[in-house]
Structure 1
Amino acid sequence: MKKKIGLVPKLIMGIIAGILIGSYAPPIIVQVLVTAATLFSAFLKFVIPFIIIGFVTAGIADLATGAGKLLGVTTGIAYGSTIIAGLGAFTVASIIFPSFIDPSVASKIGNPEAGMLPPIFTIPLEAMVDVTAAIVFAFMLGLGISGLRNHGKGEHLYGMAMEFQEIVTKTLSTIIIPLLPIYIAGTFANITYAGQVWNILNIFWRVYLIVIPLHLIYLVCQFATAGAISGKNPFKMLKNQIPGYLTAVGTQSSAATIPVNVDCAEKNGTSKQIREFVVPLCATIHLSGSIISVTSFAVAVLMMNGMPHGLQVMLPFILMLGIAMVAAPGAPGGAIMSALPFLPMIGIPSDGGLASLMIALYLTQDSFGTAANVSGDNAIAVIVDHLNKKWTKKEDSKRAA
């Protein structure tokens, strides 16, 4: 039986193949690969609005199934945690990245897309709806379905939203993700041909050394907060979380980790009702690890190109990502795919060399981001469980009085 090669090894092979082709192959070979990457990029741009509609509509519509107050509190904590993680990553990046991405490095790199070879031909494939319209439509439809379901209606629309999300997920898993190594190879071949690849890689290996420890530090902060609120030992809870973390690293899937994560929540003393509600919900809406990665890579790319990267640029981007990535963990690479349409908010085109560079960088560490996402879910479960017990006690006291 043949052993299946995972996505990360394929991406690394794509990067290496692209560098070798860009360094040694004749320009026509590079152009053929660039043409394939350009055609893929056009298809990706076409699919992006549907990714937004599929993920965000289904994610918001699904929030109708919670228990009122608990749903609101859990969603609020998850969103707040995601935004704090993004702002924390931005702060760390702003302080540390200038030590190895200074103006001289930015001027040396210049525009990574300058000097690249053009594709042999292109296909005029335009998106059926623009990104802004897709976002507005997804929110309108998702909130509408959620409201209808609270009144015992809208189940047909809900089913359609869920099935459309399955179509988008299938498109990602059978077309986009399998072809990503070719896209990445074409991008790196062109960057290498333009003479920029080593300058860029010299920066990003250092970014990795910051991003992955940042996941772990934020995880400790989440459990420390949960411990302070609930009175439980944060280190014991972190120890109980290890199986969930390792499962997520191995599977790169929030959904596949849910059963293990529910067991971890049980060891942390979270009640059955809360753990079976919060863990699956947060696997969909809590993306602290993903936003740390996306924010860090975005700041690095902006610095490399000498582009504005202050809080006034990044804050709207981070706030939007916290919403746009809802339900993205349901698909391979869903978080970075959901982030692509919003890169223009900070000056990075959603297609082309810089976007594919961000995709490659994100996906090669995706397992660690996913592990940080799902592990943080149990910190939220502990907090919600504590609040729920407090509210229940208060209600019981009122009834007794």
Structure 2
Amino acid sequence: MKKLGLLPKLIIGIIIGIIIGTTRIEFLTRLLITFSGIFGNFLNYIVPLLIIGFVAPGIAELGNKAGKLLGLTAGIAYLSTVVAGVLAFLAATTILPAIITAGRETAAEALIASPYFEIQIPPIMGVMAALVTAFILGLGIAAIKGDTMLHFMQEFQQIIQKVIENIIIPLLPIHIAGIFARMAYAGEVAETFAVFGRVFVLVIALHIAYIIIQYLIAGSMTKVNPFTAIKNMLPAYFTAIGTQSSAATIPVTVRSTKNNHVADEVAEFAVPLCATIHLAGSTITLTICAIAVMALEGMTLGFGQVFPFILMLGVTMVAAPGVPGGAIMAALGLLETMLGFTDGQLALMMALYIAQDSFGTAANVTGDGAIALIVNRLARS
């Protein structure tokens, strides 16, 4: 099992959960649901710490880099992330209502299985308080050039990353098994899987469309053939599918970017920076999946709710951990506080997101090459 990747483990967890829930083995279903409840509370506890641990040092490290390139790259990356989220909202609200039918809540309530017991693990602060704290710490460390505090925050980041890698990620398949056992017990699985397939296709299609849009814009500004530029970035795209990490793909992304005639110093600066702050593919996925999960329960999200969520995603996912599913871990708090997600909905979001995480990462790093092209052009003007 240790040699299996996260996605195969999640699939196994989903299958086991469905089998247990469908066969109505009540004590096993309740046992899994009990674990999911405790694990969900632990996730709620860790999210504020994750935000502080990754956003604060990320902002501090950005603050230590000065110059025109930083402002250009960060501004374009953030704008790209926000535009991706807006396009995802428009696509989801246009297409998903035609392919998703709301679940029957009364049937689910009639067959609900309850946990044996619950353990409350309240977070030490709210998500917004954690985000404000992270900003104060990050900007403060950059302003005073506090090496001691920066090293402390970097080590705190390493602790949180170890928690994610050694506790959350290994136990996540069991958590997902509990969620699907509850759904199978309530008779909701068939509809949920139908939605999963449709949402997956929509997400991948929008990833590809947005990559093309990015390179059409970059090509028009730099006089580079956009499709040739995309072809040169394909090694980075497929490497990211395998690694599921923008950070791990940096060497290949840098080399592919240089093949598009981007200056060495621009490629070597813009690509590593964008690996931590440009998450257009992840934002597309999170936005579409959030609307889909809400639609399953007959709820809708308006632009007034989703747009602030998109704006905050662009900030909260700064320096998201370089592990599979890092972006969704960083976004859990926003989903809960800004969009009102329940523990079950958060678990569905994690399953949906991680199922296509490699494609989201591939869209992120391919877009980094387009940003490097634009920055290379603007830096020379």
Q: TM-score, normalised by structure 1?
A: 0.92
Q: For the Cα contact (< 8 Å) 2:22–2:185, is it kept in 1?
A: yes
One-letter identity of the residue aligned with 1:90: F
Match of 1:243 among 231, 235, 239: 235
Instruction: Check 1:222–1:135 CA distance in 2 against 1; reply closer, same or farther (3 A cut).
Output: same
Distance in 2, Cα, partners of 1:20 & 1:353: 18
Counterpart in 2 of 1:233? 225
Counterpart in 2 of 1:188? 180
Q: For the Cα contact (< 8 Å) 1:254–1:329, is it kept in 2?
A: no
Match of 1:338 among 330, 334, 340: 330
Report deviation, 1:201: 1.6
Distance in 2, Cα, partners of 1:137 & 1:318: 20
Is 2:55 the counterpart of 1:53?
A: no
Counterpart in 1 of 2:354? 363
**SS of the counterpart of 2:119?**
coil
Distance in 2, Cα, partners of 1:332 & 1:210: 21
Q: Deviations over 1:297-347 (max 9, x none)?
A: 001112222223111111111111111111114233110011110113454
One-letter identity of the residue aligned with 2:80: S
Distance in 1, Cα, partners of 2:110 & 2:152: 44
Report deviation, 1:23: 0.6
Counterpart in 1 of 2:161? 169
Report deviation, 1:238: 0.5
**SS of the counterpart of 2:249?**
helix
Q: For the Cα contact (< 8 Å) 1:226–1:382, is it kept in 2?
A: yes
Q: Deviations over 1:66-101 (max 9, x none)?
A: 232211111010000000000000000011111112
Match of 1:372 among 339, 363, 373: 363
One-letter identity of the residue aligned with 1:212: I
**Percent sequence identity over aligned pairs:** 50
Match of 1:156 among 130, 143, 148: 148
Rg larger in 1 or in 2?
Answer: 1
Report deviation, 1:246: 0.4
Distance in 1, Cα, partners of 2:252 & 2:106: 46
**SS of the counterpart of 2:116?**
coil
Counterpart in 2 of 1:91? 90
Counterpart in 1 of 2:143? 147
Report deviation, 1:178: 0.6
Is 2:116 the counterpart of 1:116?
A: no
Match of 1:224 among 205, 211, 216: 216
Q: For the Cα contact (< 8 Å) 1:38–1:122, is it kept in 2?
A: yes
One-letter identity of the residue aligned with 1:122: E
Counterpart in 2 of 1:319? 311
Distance in 1, Cα, partners of 2:67 & 2:294: 41
**SS of the counterpart of 1:124?**
coil
Q: Deviations over 1:34-82 (max 9, x none)?
A: 1111111111111111011011111111102323221111101000000
Q: For the Cα contact (< 8 Å) 1:30–1:189, is it kept in 2?
A: yes
Report deviation, 1:16: 0.9
Q: For the Cα contact (< 8 Å) 1:57–1:141, is it kept in 2?
A: yes
Q: For the Cα contact (< 8 Å) 2:17–2:181, is it kept in 1?
A: yes
Q: TM-score, normalised by structure 2?
A: 0.96
Counterpart in 2 of 1:394? none
Counterpart in 1 of 2:122? 126
Instruction: Check 1:48–1:247 CA distance in 2 against 1; reply closer, same or farther (3 A cut).
Output: same
Distance in 1, Cα, partners of 2:87 & 2:105: 27
Counterpart in 2 of 1:74? 73
Report deviation, 1:124: 2.5
Is 2:17 the counterpart of 1:26?
A: no
Counterpart in 2 of 1:352? 343
Counterpart in 2 of 1:213? 205
Q: Deviations over 1:367-395 (max 9, x none)?
A: 000000011001000110111111xxxxx
Distance in 2, Cα, partners of 1:368 & 1:95: 22
Distance in 2, Cα, partners of 1:229 & 1:120: 61
Counterpart in 2 of 1:288? 280
Distance in 2, Cα, partners of 1:113 & 1:357: 18
Aligned residue-pair number: 381
In the TM superposition, what are the counterparts of 1:97-112 in structure 2 within 5 Å? 97-101=96-100, 105-106=101-102, 108=104
Q: For the Cα contact (< 8 Å) 1:348–1:355, is it kept in 2?
A: no
Distance in 2, Cα, partners of 1:168 & 1:94: 35
Q: For the Cα contact (< 8 Å) 2:328–2:350, is it kept in 1?
A: yes
Counterpart in 2 of 1:388? 379
